[in-house]
Amino acid sequence: MYNEIRVFVENKPGKLSHIAELLGEAGIDILALDLADEGQFGVVKILTAEPDRAKSILSEANMTVAFNKVAMVEIDDRPGSLLKFSKALESSNLNVTDAYGCIIERGKRAVFVVKGDNLADIETAARNAGLKALDSLE
Partner 1 sequence: MNDRVGSCYEWMSRDEIASLQAELLQRTVAQAAKSPWYSAKFKEKGVEPGDITSRDDITTLPLTSKEELRESYPRQMLTVDPSEVIRMHTSSGTTGRPIAVFHTKEDVDNWAELMARCLGMAGATASDVFQNMSGYGLFTGGLGLHYGAERLGMWVIPAGAGNTARHIMLIRDFHTTVIHATPSYAMHVAERMLQEGDDPKSLGLKIAALGAEPYTEEMRKKLQDLYGFKVFNSYGLTEMNGPGVAFECTEQNGMHVWEDSYIVEILNPDTLEPVGEGEVGELVMTTLRRTAMPIIRYRTRDLTRLITEDCPCGRKHARLARMVGRSDDMLIVRGVNVFPKQIEEVIMRHDWVGGNYVIHLSTRESLDQMTVRVEMAKEAFDGTIATVKIQRAELQKQLKEAAGFTVMVDVLEPGSLPVSEGKAKRVIDERG
Neighbours of 3 (CB within 10 A): 19
The one-letter amino acid code at 24 reads G
Q: Which of 65, 71, 110, 125 binds partner 1 (CB under 8 A)?
A: 65
CA distance 34 to 58: 16
The one-letter amino acid code at 106 reads R
Rg (CA), the chain: 16
Q: Which of 30, 49, 68, 77 binds partner 1 (CB under 8 A)?
A: 68
The answer to whether residues 68 and 5 touch, using CB atoms and an 8 Å cutoff, is yes
Of residues 38 and 138, the one with the C-beta less far from partner 1: 38
Does 43 contact partner 1 by CB under 8 A?
yes
Binding piece for partner 1, criterion CB under 8 A, among 26-34, 46-54, 56-64, 76-84: 56-64
User: What is the per-residue binding string for partner 1 in 8-37, x denoting contact by CB under 8 A?
Assistant: xxx-------------------------x-
Q: At its nearest, how many Å lie between partner 1 and the CB of residue 30?
A: 17
Q: Beta strands 132-134 and 41-48: pairing type? A: unpaired
Q: At its nearest, how many Å lie between partner 1 and the CB of residue 127?
A: 26
Q: CA neighbours within 13 Å on the CB side: how many for 118?
A: 10
* Contact footprint for partner 1 (CB under 8 A): 6, 8-10, 36, 38, 40-43, 59, 62-68
